[in-house]
Structure 1
């Protein structure tokens, strides 16, 4: 196998391990955040637990998950589960803050025209919180792509292989290849999220332009 073929396969494996945690993290964190906003008494402890989860070091978590899930140590699912926990921990806090930032005027207006709580959430609160949620999702995307490399320490194929092999054999070019490809994947993910955000929230950019047009011009 040529070096290019190896790098390509490692990139595909890296992407395959990075996408599920980001998607699952978003799908789980939105309802959890909704619950924390609606139930402040139970929401506070949930946010604390989410914060504690993110403080757990990645390598011990990767080793502990096979024992908890009865999976093989080399099973890629262990990496997906660990990174999903980190994604949920990060996104739950940012999504809760985003939902809390929605103005009461908008909620009252939705109630006044007869929106049910469920419809108000999907058609008013979630769209207005969308830009903040997207910002949190972009952070999660970058952190997930970087953490996937740790899976190579326990034998799960990813670009982390280039780091380990390059360091062990003292091949600097191999290490830099892993770094460049990891950064490249993170940049592509971030660009895709930005484009998706513009398609799903087309009202955000015009609003930003209106705000910038009212900004005072500074002359030196």
Structure 2
């Protein structure tokens, strides 16, 4: 039994000292406790303490102390790990929020029923539909479809597409989504289409008018025929 206690003293003593040294590097409060108890369990220290105090613990008492200390060591490691995890996650989120790289930008989502909100806010004559054909972290692109086959005046198309882009920006801002911020760069556009009057080959079913575009670097809405 004495030999077993000595072996356990070496094993747990060295383990506690090593754990204490690691905890010292990370600044944990258990470091001093681990090192002190680890040294106390080493057989040479036991002999030194006996020479100084003339007191010696029985084998049963030493085995009990080793078991209790082992339990405390495991409990302390688990508690310390649980306390540190939220802090590490918080630091990661802050770093992601302040990055300017689109790949590492904070994940965010568009408001639900965005098209319905736009259609309820703008008045467009001869409107057939408004659809979203691109919606991701880098771009939000709309298509405006007119009902009539008759060509629409350019001024009307410019006004309608600009209204869609402007209203979309207002809705995003109301939902705390800024398309021109330090961690997000969002291009917003709206192109206009109407049914084609005639198509000799039958390959062209729509007339394209161009559209209005919002670019974050200009922070303005511009028109383009392309």
- The TM-score normalised by the length of structure 1 is 0.27
Q: Which of the pair has more CA radius of gyration?
A: 2
Judging by fraction of residues, say which structure has more strand.
Answer: 2
| Higher relative contact order (CA closer than 8 Å, sequence separation 6+) | 1
Greater helix content: 1
> What is the TM-score when the length of structure 2 is the normalising length?
0.26
